[in-house]
Every structure is written in structure tokens, then in C-alpha cells.
Amino acid sequence: MLSQNLRNKYISRFEELITRGEQIKEDVEIIPKKYYRKPFSSSFEPSIEIPETTKINDQNFFLWKHNCRSLLEQIIPPNSVHRKILDDTNTYWSSESELNDLMSILKALKEDFEKGYLDDLEIKIEAEMAADYMGQAEKLMTEGQTGQYDHVPAAVLAGAVLEKELRMLCSKQTPPISTVNSKGDKLTLNPLIDELKKAGLFNELKAKQLRAWADIRNKAAHGEFDQFNRSDVEVMIKGINEFLANYLT
């Protein structure tokens, strides 16, 4: 899932490529129609008309087209119906008609991208499931039996949701981030956080917050109940909900 900064970066790239496409279109050379007479033909034979044509700058066009395909490869989900567009643009000729077609595609996909229609359906489903589990964690906090450690189950559940969604985010990066180590063991919360930070999904400040919640989850799971309190878990649940809202919607 894209952060807002990265989403804005892609939108800016769309706008840049659309502007460049318009410039290529403006620079299309119009070759006037001509009349051609066959050699040795009589004066009574009509001339052959060669219709008006246009000539596009091939070098600029193919560079622009390559940039367009590169952008679309990154923003169109693998299983999307939009992927056929990439096959349709995989040609080795240039024409004003193809330029116009690709310009229309760029503008349409930019609009879909801005409105969230290119987001991966799997991510949307995952977000709904995560929200449901986080709702259960909140319910545990409000309906659990009052006692010294009644907040512990909520911490365990919220931490499990966070770990699951970090794994999913790793799988959705380009290229996907491995969620196992060199021995084939699953990465735990902190290594997952480090890998996603390294990939640029979020900064060190956000990573520090995630590590704090991971620490609470680990302490809850290992019986170190005196190392955190109810207020810590409330902050944890609120923070994880905000994180999921920003990265899974």
C-alpha cells in the first residue's frame, strides 16, 4: 500500500508524462498531400494522389512510451483487468494514432489511480478483516473482566493483527520483500518493520512507533505483564488503527 507521499509522487509522474505526450503531439509534422505521375505515363492519365500524412518523432515517442509503460507496470496490480493495457501497448511502431490512444489511457488511469480504483482488491479485503480484529481488541478492553491484567489479551490480538498486515505489506512491495530469513524461518515483528522501513514504506519515526507496539505485544505474549499497563495498550490499539488506515486504505 502506498503512503500519501508516494501516491503524490506517482500522480506527479502521470502529470509529467501527460504533458510530455501533449508536447510530442504538438511537434507532429504534417506532410501535405502530393500528386505523383508514373514514369512514361501519358498526359491523359490522371496523377496519383498521395494523401496528407503525419510524421512523429520516433526517438521522443519511444522514450516517452517506455516511461509510460514503466509507470503503468508499477501502479497496475498484477491481477487487475487493466494489465491488458500493457500488452496492447507493447508494439514497435509509432504513429499519431497510437500516441492519442496512449494519452487517453494515461488520463483515464490517472483518474482511476487518484480515486483509488487501481488499489489491490486483496488489500481492501485485508483492511476490512484487520479492522474487524482490531474492533475485537477494542471490545476486549471495554468488556473484559476488570482486573490487574485484563488488557493483556487485547495487546496480544492487536500485535498479531499488526504482524499479519506487515507481512501482507511486504508481499505487495515491488519487488516483494521476503518474510522469511535465510534459514526459512518467519521474520518476527521487528525484522518486518526494518525491512519495510528499508524499502521506504515509512520513515524511522514511524518505525520507532511500530517497534514500541511490537515490544508490548512480545511482553504480553511472554508473560511480562508488569512491563506495560492498560494505558500503553490503549495507545497501541489507537496507533495500530491509524497505521492500518494510512497503509491499508
- CATH number of residue 126's parent domain: 1.20.120.330
Q: Of 164, 158, 165, 163, whose CA–CA distance to 141 is shortest? A: 158
The domain in which residue 12 lies consists of 4-114
Check if the beta carbon of residue 243 is closer than 8 Å to that of residue 236: no
pLDDT tens, per residue, the chain with 249 residues? 455 677 788 899 999 999 999 999 988 887 777 766 666 666 667 777 767 677 888 889 989 999 998 888 877 766 666 777 777 666 656 678 888 888 998 998 898 888 877 766 556 656 777 788 898 898 888 876 666 788 999 999 999 999 999 998 898 887 889 999 888 899 999 999 999 999 999 999 999 999 999 999 999 999 999 999 999 999 999 999 999 888 876
Verify that 160 and 196 share a domain, yes or no: yes
Question: 59 and 166, same structural domain?
Answer: no
Q: What is the pLDDT of residue 166?
A: 93
State how far the Cα of 153 lies from the Cα of 140, in Å rounded to an integer: 7
- What residues pair up with 34 in beta bridges, in sequence order? 50
Domain boundary among 114, 147, 182: 114
Same domain? 84 vs 133: no
Degrees, nearest 5: CA angle 24-28-34: 170
Cα gap 230→235, rounded to integer Å = 9
Q: What is the domain count for the chain?
A: 2
If we measure between CA atoms, which residue out of 113, 141, 150 comes closest to residue 241? 141
Phi and psi dihedrals of 55, rounded to 5?
Answer: -130, 125
The reported pLDDT for the residue numbered 181 is 87
Residues 6+ apart with CB under 8 A from 219: 155, 225, 227, 228
Residues 81 and 185 occupy one common structural domain: no
Last residue of a domain, which of 87, 114, 141? 114
Q: Are residues 109 and 209 in the same domain?
A: no
- The answer to whether residues 205 and 233 belong to one domain is yes
pTM beyond 0.85, yes or no:
no
- Do 220 and 167 reside in the same domain of the chain? yes
Give the residue from 77, 97, 114 where a domain finishes: 114
* Shared-domain flag, residues 176 and 94: no
* Rounded Cα distance, 160 and 213, in Å: 11
- Output the pLDDT for position 24: 92
Cell 493483556, residue located: 152
Round to whole Å and give the CA distance between 152 and 172.
31
Task: Indicate if 99 and 147 belong to the same structural domain.
Answer: no
Q: CA 220 to CA 152: how far, in whole Å? A: 6
Do 28 and 140 share a structural domain? no
Residues 241 and 130 both lie in one domain: yes
Cβ pair 22, 104 in contact under 8 A? no
Tell me: do 26 and 106 sit in the same domain. yes
